[in-house]
Amino acid sequence: MNYKEIFRRFSKLNILIIGDVMVDSYMWGKVERISPEAPVPVCTITKKENRLGGAANVALNIAAMGAEPVLCSVVGDDVNGKTLKSLMKKQLLSTDGIIFSKTRLTTTKTRILSGSSQMLRIDEETDVPVNSEEEDIFLKKIFEIIAKKRIDTVIFQDYDKGVITKNIIRSVVNKLKQMNIPVAVDPKKRNFENYQGVTLFKPNLKELKEGLKIDNFEQINPVTLRKAADILHKTYKIEKVFITLSDKGVFIIDYAQQPIKHFLLPAHLRTIADVSGAGDSVISVAALCLAIGMNAEDIARISNMAGGLVCESIGVVPVNKDILFKELNVQ
């Protein structure tokens, strides 16, 4: 496979990302004593860092692969919202698709670490769906972008924080079908049943069990995964089902190809430092592959490699294009 040509084609793509953005905040420190106030460790902070997370990390992954991301979301008109805007500008990401709301909080996850060990995570967020006025403004913004700019693939990056609603999904998917633009989805529980007719649907095993209400799923093998994928295809008219299985690898099936084939690819052996953000990298690379018409097995292979690579770094980071290229060429 000519990965050099594939990566060159990636660099010409425009990818629209719709979803929940967040600030990933990190505080590193040292623990040398127990508090006299309560039996808890005292962490003396030595370093702080804010990073883009959620759908914004997907945008970073798209940019890291050489393509142009267009990010659309609703965030709070608050201090953390200003931090997010500043981080986006620093990363040369356009903020044109970001709506600032006075009724919402900007999702922020603060992790306190001692060395490489996470001691505590503090979340500031709301998961209430956007109100009708915000929904209308958000939809208008999305349609404006689609009308003005060539979009090669759209990603719904759903974290169940309320930015993506049933009406937004249906309205955007129907419009994209008319324009023959593929749609890739990284779902969560709330909207699981609303992504009907999308091109590629990428749940992890936990999301698959919750979404299909499967209690007994002990055996992870091609037969059981195929049965679950068949349900998704028949119920929701999904073209490609792409299931991530953590250390068990990935499963993909394409119902648009004849004969229908499925593939279960093993995970690559890695020194795992942190699995945060791996799903963001997988859906990002899968969407790029989808945009240039790659087959299901190759989509899974390249995306699986990308997800494994980011697990070697602490915290949420985008995939490194150069390292991914080298790894793919030595498979």
pLDDT score at 276: 60
Alpha helices in the chain (DSSP H): 3-10, 55-64, 79-90, 132-148, 166-179, 205-212, 222-236, 278-291, 296-310, 321-329
DSSP state of 162: S
pLDDT score at 273: 47
pLDDT score at 214: 81
Neighbour-count burial of 23, counting CB atoms closer than 10 A to its CB (0-12 exposed, 13-18 middle, 19+ buried): buried
Do residues 208 and 251 lie in contact, with contact meaning Cβ atoms separated by under 8 Å? no
3-state secondary structure 282-313: HHHHHHHHHHCCCCHHHHHHHHHHHHHHHCCC
pLDDT score at 312: 67
pLDDT score at 275: 55
pLDDT score at 331: 63
- Count how many Cα atoms sit within 13 Å of the Cα of residue 126 in the half-sphere of its side chain: 16
Neighbour-count burial of 327, counting CB atoms closer than 10 A to its CB (0-12 exposed, 13-18 middle, 19+ buried): middle
Do residues 257 and 233 lie in contact, with contact meaning Cβ atoms separated by under 8 Å? no
C-alpha to C-alpha distances, 141 to 22, 100, 122, 151, nearest whole angstrom: 19, 12, 31, 14
Sequence-distant (6+) residues with CB within 8 A of 291 are 13, 15, 152, 153, 182
Q: Which residue type does 237 have?
A: K
Q: Please state whether beta strands 183-186 and 200-201 pair in parallel, antiparallel, or not at all (unpaired).
A: parallel
Neighbour-count burial of 292, counting CB atoms closer than 10 A to its CB (0-12 exposed, 13-18 middle, 19+ buried): middle
- pLDDT tens digit string along 266-312? 877 655 544 566 889 899 999 999 999 999 999 999 999 888 787 66
pLDDT score at 121: 96
Residues of the chain with pLDDT under 70: 216-218, 269-277, 311-317, 330-331
Starting at the edge strand that comes first in sequence, how are the strands of the sheet with 108-114 ordered? 41-54, 21-34, 108-114, 117-124
pLDDT score at 8: 93
**CA pair distance 217, 249, nearest whole angstrom:** 16
Do residues 309 and 86 lie in contact, with contact meaning Cβ atoms separated by under 8 Å? no
- For the whole model, what pTM was predicted? 0.92
pLDDT score at 254: 97
Which regions of 7-56 does DSSP assign to beta strands (E)? Answer: 14-19, 21-34, 41-54
CATH architecture of 3-30+42-239: 3-Layer(aba) Sandwich (3.40)
- pLDDT tens digit string along 224-282? 999 999 999 999 999 999 999 988 889 999 999 989 999 999 877 655 544 566 889 89
Do residues 38 and 44 lie in contact, with contact meaning Cβ atoms separated by under 8 Å? no
Q: Which residue type does 25 have?
A: S
pLDDT score at 274: 47
Which helix (DSSP H) or strand (DSSP E) does residue 110 occupy?
strand 108-114
Domain positions in the chain are 3-30+42-239
**CA pair distance 17, 61, nearest whole angstrom:** 11
Q: Which of 196, 125, 103 is nearest to 156 (CA)?
A: 196
Residues recognised as catalytic: 280
